[in-house]
A and B are shown apart, each in its own frame.
Chain A
């Protein structure tokens, strides 16, 4: 089973709203990732959690706040977003060892109005 689930599938939010994206995997993976993908562009890494600890933060604005409550769950808290933050937000997971395959969830399509 290589399933990563994400909720919600679609999200429309205003610039003053607070919302959260959720990601879950039950593959026993100990590394989880958030990516942002704009149209016709490749995914861009935002955050990496390894063994529930934040190990990479790719200079992402503080209006994005990640959280890893346990080894199966990953959240991305959103606050005071800008219209240019509208994108497909992808969660992925992998074994934590070097070079392991990353499996993506279906993504959350976010629109900021």
Chain B
């Protein structure tokens, strides 16, 4: 199932710089997108979401951009901090419904170096 794809399995960034995590999707019925962060031995933690009626949503250091024509979204973290080191998952849902049947990407492991 490749409906949601994160092509970079890992990303290394210097502290203070911008981290950009990318996600592509194929299902045009998806209309709600979320980013989750996951530390080892913990469950995914919700970070930020965006509805398909928007192209940008910002929350503190985190901004999500959505390009519907390209079926692409990205998560920008600026400035990156060592505590941001984790696996980041993008997820998508159809029918404007975050709750039902989230489809996850494979994750990108972000390492922020001090």
A binds B: no
| Chain B residues with a Cβ under 8 A of chain A | none
| Chain A residues with a Cβ under 8 A of chain B | none
